[in-house]
Amino acid sequence: MIKLMDILLEGVNDPGIFKAVFLAGGPGSGKTYVVKQLFGIPDRLNISASGMKMVNSDKELKHLLRKFGFGTDLDKMPDEVFHDLTAKGQSGLRQYSKELTAQRMKLYKAGKLGMIVDGTGHDFGKLHSMKKELENDGYDTYMIFVNTSLEVAQKRNQIRDRVLPPKLLKKSWEDVQKNLGRFQNLFKQNFLIVDNSKTLDAKQAQNKFNVLVKKGVDKFIKKPIKNPIAKRWIEKQKILKKQGV
């Protein structure tokens, strides 16, 4: 069995190590599509070309909903069933999905692996705390904010796997919009807004995302790590490797 230390020693020069990219944007903004385009993540995979791992509690929840036969069209569910499945109800599916995601993220952190943390960004305090926690562990952080109009978000919501009630989507969209300026101030130069309101053909999408990758994402991933905690850790690992430990 490959030991964690062996992986760490082999991966100290990987481009994605100690990098965390946060995704923000309301339901229906197309975050999943955008991140796959920006990071070159093939369909059905959860890892980018640079080795960055996806962290997404919604994906875990959708898997659980399908597994237990509930389906993912939440808009058609009775109110009491919807609340039970998506809040802290008796089924415990929402809480369980969050626990699975937390464990997955814990393993990635232990391996110092690059992460793409997918969320809506409606809770500024929670995201701020997560950012600080990762930085205290040595990570450099970045945010991609995927923006759409409310009208476009509502239309896309109806063709998503997990359809949300329109009122809930509107509330989430408004909460995310309120946090836009706060996120810009928090991440400063490590912040990229992607306008995803227009429907593009394949060539237009490729041109757009190629520009965005060169503009920010690629530079961030390939840029030398700035966090002094990570720098010290990497130097120690290189010493251990030379000593054959």
Contacting residues for 159 by C-beta, under 8 A, at least 6 apart: none
Tell me the C-alpha distance between 50 and 16, whole Å.
Answer: 6
In three-state secondary structure terms, 19 is strand
Rounded to the nearest 5°, which phi and psi values hold at 40?
A: 65, 45
Percent of the chain scoring above 70 in pLDDT:
71
Task: Please measure the distance between the N-terminal and C-terminal CA atoms of the chain and give it in whole angstroms.
Answer: 17
Tell me the C-alpha distance between 29 and 45, whole Å.
Answer: 20
Structure tokens at 216: 């920010």
Amino acid sitting at position 101: T
Q: Where are the alpha helices (DSSP H) in the chain?
A: 4-11, 31-39, 57-67, 79-86, 93-110, 124-136, 150-157, 166-187, 202-212, 218-222, 228-242
In three-state secondary structure terms, 20 is strand
Q: pLDDT (tens digit, 9 = 90+) per residue, 198-214?
A: 877 767 777 787 788 77
Q: pLDDT (tens digit, 9 = 90+) per residue, 4-30?
A: 444 444 456 666 889 999 989 888 888
pLDDT under 70: residue ranges of the chain:
1-15, 42-50, 57-97, 162, 202, 244-245
In three-state secondary structure terms, 3 is coil
DSSP-derived pairing of the beta strands 115-118 and 19-24? parallel
At how many degrees (to 10) do helices 166-187 and 150-157 cross?
130
Q: What is the DSSP string of 132-166?
A: HHHHHTT-EEEEEEEE--HHHHHHHHTTSSSBPPH
Taken as a whole, the chain contains a residue count of 245
- In this prediction the pTM is 0.76
Of 97, 41, 95, residue with least CA distance to 66? 97
pLDDT of residue 10: 46
Q: Domains plus CATH for the chain?
A: 4-56+114-242 (3.40.50.300)
pLDDT of residue 43: 59
pLDDT of residue 183: 95
In three-state secondary structure terms, 168 is helix
